[in-house]
């Protein structure tokens, strides 16, 4: 049964593999480790459609790991803006510098896990896809396929041990990278979270979930807890630039602390809100402020409402570090999505 599942799936993958910029065609020599690593980091909790333009921009700007290692962290953070989960970008730079110092990526799953920002999944994926090492690769798509294939009814996260064991049992000794990508493609296109296209699935004959009559109930997930709600305020401080007039508008931007929410990113000043509590800090300038709008944004662990207020007086430079940025090129500032939304409602 094990050989049947892997052989059947690889035959399906040879005919139906998705063409992706970080992927070698089925049966071809592996893609270079840099591209595999970069794509896997970007794809964590992010869709393929969202990642494609970011991946292409990164490899055009920094074509190899040495180039990325030499890049200023703030430039990488700015290029990452909008992709979310910004700790990934900080770890990306740390990892690139570590790999460059080693002279290249290690091949084994164990050694890869020692690199900054690489967990079990990412290390296994790089080992299998970039180096053709046998490794058990389990992401959310693979987790769903395996849970249905073997009708693993224990609720998550407790079911993950059984899911990994079954994934290990069907992972072949050869073409482990293609097999891992085949499982990902099956979960992304056929055995999806909202649909089980069993008539199109190459593994339907062996699927215990399909035989049960209700594959969509698997994997069983624990009830979601309601997200807490947080509130904060962002401050828009504007002045006329050297050009003068409307085209010369400039806005005061700051760099957030290196750790914490949106760490190291360029942003509007705010009142000190965090994932743990609402903002209560003082505005950076004393005087009159006017309401400019409200931005709503959902983070992983909380929902957020950001009130945006604009300074109504003569804008002198606030105390502390920051920079004046031309409003007409605010999209080039690399603001994270939350603050990019805030900028749009004021600068429109």
Higher pLDDT: 53 or 258? It is 53
Q: Determine the Cα–Cα distance for residues 277 and 259; give it in Å rounded to an integer.
A: 16
DSSP tag of 45: T
pLDDT digits (tens, 9 = 90+) for 191-221: 999 999 999 999 999 999 999 999 999 999 9
Q: Determine the Cα–Cα distance for residues 183 and 172; give it in Å rounded to an integer.
A: 12
> What is the CATH T-level fold of the domain 2-217, as seen in this structure?
Endonuclease III; domain 1 (1.10.340)
Yes or no: say if 248 and 321 are a contact pair by the CB < 8 Å rule: no
Domain boundaries, the chain: 2-217, 229-347
Is 10 a residue whose pLDDT tops 60? yes
109 is catalytic: no
Percentage with pLDDT > 70 across the chain: 97
Is 2 a residue whose pLDDT tops 70? no
Confidence class of residue 1 from pLDDT cuts 50, 70 and 90? very low
Catalytic residue (one of 40, 109, 143, 250)? 40
Q: Determine the Cα–Cα distance for residues 102 and 41; give it in Å rounded to an integer.
A: 19
pLDDT digits (tens, 9 = 90+) for 259-268: 888 888 899 9
Is 313 a residue whose pLDDT tops 80? no
Q: Which residues pair with 230 in a beta bridge?
A: 304
The length of the chain in residues reads: 348
pLDDT digits (tens, 9 = 90+) for 112-130: 999 999 999 999 999 999 9
Q: Which CATH class is domain 229-347?
A: alpha beta
pLDDT digits (tens, 9 = 90+) for 19-72: 999 999 998 999 999 999 999 999 998 999 999 999 999 999 999 999 999 999
Percentage with pLDDT > 90 across the chain: 80
Place of tokens 């490899």: 59
Give first-to-last CA distance, the chain, whole Å.
61
Q: Determine the Cα–Cα distance for residues 70 and 291; give it in Å rounded to an integer.
A: 42
Q: Strand runs (DSSP E) across the chain, as ranges?
A: 229-236, 238-240, 249-255, 266-267, 289-298, 303-311, 323-326
């Amino acid at each position: 049964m094990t050989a049947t599942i892997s052989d059947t799936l690889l035959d399906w993958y040879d005919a139906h593999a998705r063409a992706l910029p970080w992927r070698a065609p089925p049966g071809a020599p592996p893609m270079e480790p840099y591209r595999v690593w970069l794509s896997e980091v970007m794809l964590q909790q992010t869709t393929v459609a969202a990642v494609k333009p970011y991946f292409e921009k990164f490899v055009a700007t920094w074509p190899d790991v040495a180039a990325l290692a030499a890049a200023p962290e703030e430039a990488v953070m700015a290029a990452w803006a909008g992709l979310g989960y910004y700790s990934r970008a900080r770890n990306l730079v740390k990892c690139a510098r570590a790999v460059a110092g080693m002279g290249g990526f290690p091949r084994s799953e164990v050694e890869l896990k020692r690199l900054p920002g690489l967990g079990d999944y990412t290390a296994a994926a790089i080992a299998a896809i970039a180096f053709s090492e046998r490794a058990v690769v389990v992401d959310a798509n693979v987790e769903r396929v395996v849970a249905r294939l073997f009708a693993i009814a224990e609720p998550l996260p407790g079911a993950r041990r059984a899911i990994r064991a079954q994934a290990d049992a069907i992972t072949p000794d050869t073409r482990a990278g293609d097999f891992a990508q085949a499982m990902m493609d099956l979960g992304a296109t056929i055995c999806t979270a909202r649909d089980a296209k069993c008539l199109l699935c190459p593994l339907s004959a062996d699927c215990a979930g399909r035989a049960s009559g209700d594959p969509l109930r698997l994997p069983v997930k624990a009830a979601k807890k309601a997200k807490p709600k947080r509130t904060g305020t962002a401050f828009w401080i504007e002045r006329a630039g050297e050009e003068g007039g409307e085209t010369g508008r400039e806005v005061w931007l700051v760099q957030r602390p290196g750790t914490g929410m949106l760490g190291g990113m360029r942003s509007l000043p705010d009142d000190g809100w965090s994932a743990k509590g609402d903002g209560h800090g003082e505005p950076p300038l004393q005087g009159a402020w006017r309401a400019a709008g409200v931005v709503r944004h959902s983070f992983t662990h909380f929902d957020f409402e950001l009130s945006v207020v604009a300074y109504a007086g003569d804008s002198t430079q606030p105390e502390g570090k920051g920079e004046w940025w031309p409003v007409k090129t605010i999209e080039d500032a690399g603001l994270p999505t939350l603050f990019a939304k805030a900028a749009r409602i004021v600068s429109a």
